[in-house]
């Protein structure tokens, strides 16, 4: 069984109620407001928000638009084509960035509603897996035949690597496969298992044992990072900015043992504000701000008076600058107490050198590898990765949403897993990584990072009672009553609330007695 490429001919944006109507009435003729020059049959994709493909449809017929009875319309204006949709399949969301042409070009929006019309120059494809090698395919078929089980491709790949690395004999390979199958079977989840509830218990119970403390990082009193329960809450709440943002910056292989180079990068990274190298005095009598440079601090940070004067041009409040001896006087052109306060704050926060957002950078020698590593207070992943000499593959930040913005949602998913696991392990707590993987999947499955809370996962549950049980009960019940929402009672929480068996495990089975005919 190999993973083949899947041809993508068309993606268009649509509304949920239209998709639901297609699903209820398929096969159905559907009118679209753009032209299609592709020979049927083919598969197309529908996106709801324009970020990821949510549904796959099978199209068996395409024709130019003409008025017909019994057809569904995507819009009421400028209809250009009619397609016959045979079936609709809801799929796990695939970000549009995953779809690419054979030449590596990413999918682009080609009109107001369509995203990936088939070009004459090349077929638009999406490749989810690589082809299995002959050796991997042989192992896959062997496991399937002897153990009646289909192992994931990633596991087959690891077995093939072990076979090649250790030059295994046939008997050794059989023992390895038997052990892998045993472990795999042991870790499989039973049908109708309440994985969400078990995951919540597994993380929540040890979470109550966590201490409320911060940890001084790398032996420096001025640099600390939040750990324990506060950090775990930050992760699952998907905070835009952690309470103590920090980065661990690694250097490229040729530079990582050079202390001078590491120090130079640290000085480049560390942000220097005007308030770090000068005393700032607000003079109310003549509506001005006086900057009194500290010669020692300026020398330590490699800043000159001209740097301060040059950067004062970035201030938005209208002003005039003049030199009075060693001092710099900044006077308002339109005097007011409000503008004076704003001017003082802007001057204090003015960045003279370094990367914005990183207030401190220290260099420490790693005890295990002997390489020099830079630790920062503050985070700016995009700008740090652009520096020459920085190892972008290993450099990391504890700001999960910044990772999502710079590296994408998959990198953010991995970061959620690693950050949560590290937080628990630092407290001496052991949680199965699969529970954390489940949480991270729930937080990122829509193609972006969302919180576990009423503004995220919990607030989007289908069940009215489950939403009401979480937070703001009266608001959810009132809104559901006004809109006439129906609760199908499919989940755990809602069935417990109404006092009936949960539809999981034995409760998922419905027995029907059929008496014998007389």
Is the residue at 360 inside a domain? no
Task: Give the pLDDT confidence score for residue 108 in this predicted structure.
Answer: 52
d(CA 324, CA 305): 12
pLDDT at residue 496 tops 70: yes
Q: pLDDT of 445-485, one tens digit each?
A: 888 899 988 788 877 788 888 888 887 888 888 988 998 88
> What is the pLDDT averaged over residues 69-87?
85
pLDDT at residue 438 tops 90: yes
Least confident of 13-17, 322-326, 461-465: 322-326
Number of domains in the chain: 4
CATH number for 334: 3.30.1360.140
pLDDT: which is higher, 160 or 324: 160
Of 272, 325, 344, the C-alpha closest to 303 is 272
CATH number for 117: 2.30.130
- Asked if residue 147 and residue 118 are part of one domain, the reply reads no
pLDDT at residue 126 tops 70: no
Mean residue pLDDT of the chain comes to 81
CATH number for 495: 1.10.150.390
Task: Give the pLDDT confidence score for residue 222 in this predicted structure.
Answer: 55
- Asked if residue 284 and residue 321 are part of one domain, the reply reads yes
d(CA 209, CA 203): 11
- Asked if residue 139 and residue 120 are part of one domain, the reply reads no
Antiparallel, parallel or unpaired: β 319-324 and 6-7:
unpaired
Is the residue at 210 inside a domain? no
> What is the pLDDT averaged over residues 45-53?
82
pLDDT at residue 500 tops 50: yes
Q: pLDDT of 159-170, one tens digit each?
A: 998 888 888 888
- Asked if residue 152 and residue 53 are part of one domain, the reply reads no
Tokens 């020398």 found at = 299
Segment holding 54, helix H or strand E: strand 52-64
Least confident of 90-99, 199-208, 358-367, 387-396: 90-99
The last residue of one of the domains, among 300, 326, 353, is 353
Task: Give the pLDDT confidence score for residue 107 in this predicted structure.
Answer: 54
Is the residue at 435 inside a domain? no
Is the residue at 118 inside a domain? yes
The last residue of one of the domains, among 187, 206, 231, is 187
Asked whether the beta carbons of 472 and 458 are under 8 A apart, the reply is no
Task: Give the pLDDT confidence score for residue 217 in this predicted structure.
Answer: 55
Is the residue at 82 inside a domain? yes
Partners of residue 87 on adjacent β-strands = 58
How far does the chain reach from its first CA to its final CA, in angstroms?
51
Q: pLDDT of 346-384, one tens digit each?
A: 777 777 778 888 888 888 888 888 889 999 988 999 989
φ and ψ at 27, to 5 degrees?
-70, 145
- At 1, the pLDDT band (50, 70, 90 cuts) reads very low
Segment holding 29, helix H or strand E: strand 28-32
Antiparallel, parallel or unpaired: β 214-216 and 396-397:
unpaired
- Asked if residue 122 and residue 21 are part of one domain, the reply reads yes
Is the residue at 11 inside a domain? yes
- Asked if residue 67 and residue 167 are part of one domain, the reply reads no
pLDDT: which is higher, 299 or 233: 233
Residue 226 has a CB neighbour count (10 Å cut-off) of: 21
pLDDT at residue 59 tops 60: yes
The last residue of one of the domains, among 303, 326, 353, is 353
- Asked if residue 114 and residue 147 are part of one domain, the reply reads no
Task: Give the pLDDT confidence score for residue 212 in this predicted structure.
Answer: 60
> What is the pLDDT averaged over residues 73-87?
86
CA geometry: angle 280, 286, 287, nearest 5 deg: 60
Percent of the chain beyond pLDDT 70? 89
d(CA 115, CA 117): 7
- Asked if residue 23 and residue 94 are part of one domain, the reply reads yes
> What is the pLDDT averaged over residues 216-223?
53
- Asked if residue 179 and residue 116 are part of one domain, the reply reads no
- Asked if residue 85 and residue 43 are part of one domain, the reply reads yes
Q: What are the helix (H) ranges across 55-132?
A: none
Asked whether the beta carbons of 231 and 246 are under 8 A apart, the reply is no
CA geometry: angle 137, 143, 146, nearest 5 deg: 135
Q: pLDDT of 88-122, one tens digit each?
A: 888 877 777 666 554 455 555 544 444 444 333 33
> What is the pLDDT averaged over residues 168-178?
90
Is the residue at 411 inside a domain? no
Asked whether the beta carbons of 274 and 308 are under 8 A apart, the reply is yes
- Asked if residue 152 and residue 48 are part of one domain, the reply reads no
Task: Give the pLDDT confidence score for residue 399 in this predicted structure.
Answer: 93
d(CA 206, CA 202): 7
**Domain residues for 337?**
272-353
**Distance (Å) of CA 487 to CA 20, 207, 438:** 18, 32, 25
Task: Give the pLDDT confidence score for residue 197 in this predicted structure.
Answer: 85
Is the residue at 56 inside a domain? yes
Tokens representing 171 are 């008997």
φ and ψ at 265, to 5 degrees?
-60, -40
Of 492, 442, 388, the C-alpha closest to 236 is 442
Task: Give the pLDDT confidence score for residue 181 in this predicted structure.
Answer: 93
- Asked if residue 283 and residue 334 are part of one domain, the reply reads yes
Asked whether the beta carbons of 470 and 460 are under 8 A apart, the reply is no
Task: Give the pLDDT confidence score for residue 122 in this predicted structure.
Answer: 37
């Amino acid at each position: 069984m190999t993973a083949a490429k899947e041809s993508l001919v068309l993606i268009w944006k649509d509304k949920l109620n239209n998709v639901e109507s297609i699903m209820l009435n398929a096969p159905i003729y559907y009118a679209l407001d753009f032209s299609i020059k592709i020979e049927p049959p083919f598969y197309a994709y529908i996106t709801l928000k324009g970020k990821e493909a949510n549904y796959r449809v099978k199209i068996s017929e395409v024709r130019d638009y003409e008025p017909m009875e019994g057809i569904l319309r995507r819009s009421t204006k400028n209809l250009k084509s009619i397609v016959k949709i045979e079936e609709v399949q809801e799929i796990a969301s695939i970000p549009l960035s995953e779809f690419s042409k054979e030449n590596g070009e990413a999918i682009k929006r080609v009109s107001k509603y369509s995203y990936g019309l088939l070009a004459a120059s090349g077929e638009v494809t999406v490749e989810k897996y690589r082809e299995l090698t002959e050796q991997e395919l042989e192992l896959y078929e062997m496991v399937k035949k002897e153990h009646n089980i289909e192992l994931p491709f990633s596991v087959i790949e690891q077995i093939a690597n072990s076979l090649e690395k250790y030059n295994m004999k046939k008997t050794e390979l059989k023992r390895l496969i038997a052990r892998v199958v045993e472990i795999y079977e042991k870790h499989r989840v039973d049908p109708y298992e309440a994985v969400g509830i078990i995951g919540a218990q597994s993380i929540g119970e040890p979470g109550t044992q966590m201490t409320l403390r911060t940890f001084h990082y790398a032996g420096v009193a001025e640099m600390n990072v939040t750990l324990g329960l506060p950090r775990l809450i930050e992760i699952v709440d998907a905070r835009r900015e952690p309470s103590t943002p920090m980065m661990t910056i690694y250097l490229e292989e040729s530079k990582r043992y050079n202390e001078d180079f590491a120090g130079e990068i640290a000085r480049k990274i560390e942000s220097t504000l005007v308030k770090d190298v000068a005393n700032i005095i607000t003079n109310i009598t003549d509506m001005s701000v006086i900057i009194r440079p500290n010669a020692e601090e300026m020398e330590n940070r490699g800043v000159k008076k001209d740097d301060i004067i040059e950067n004062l041009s970035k201030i938005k409040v209208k002003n005039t600058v003049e030199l009075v001896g060693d001092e710099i006087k900044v006077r308002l052109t339109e005097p007011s107490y409000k503008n004076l306060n704003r001017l003082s704050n802007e001057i204090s926060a003015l960045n003279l050198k370094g990367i914005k957002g990183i207030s401190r950078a220290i260099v420490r020698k790693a005890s295990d590898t002997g390489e020099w590593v830079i630790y920062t207070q503050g985070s700016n992943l995009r700008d740090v990765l652009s520096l020459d000499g920085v190892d972008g593959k290993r450099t990391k930040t504890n700001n999960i949403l910044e990772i999502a913005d710079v590296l994408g949602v998959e990198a953010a998913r991995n970061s959620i897993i690693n950050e949560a696991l590290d937080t628990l392990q630092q407290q001496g707590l052991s949680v199965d990584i699969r529970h954390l993987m489940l949480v991270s999947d729930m937080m990122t499955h829509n193609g972006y990072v969302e919180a576990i809370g009423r503004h995220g996962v919990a607030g989007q549950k289908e069940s009215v009672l489950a939403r009401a049980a979480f937070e703001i009960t009266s608001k959810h019940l009132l809104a559901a009553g006004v809109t006439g929402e129906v609760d199908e009672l499919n989940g755990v929480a809602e069935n417990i609330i109404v006092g009936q068996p949960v539809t999981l495990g034995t409760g998922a089975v419905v027995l029907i007695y059929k008496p014998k005919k007389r």
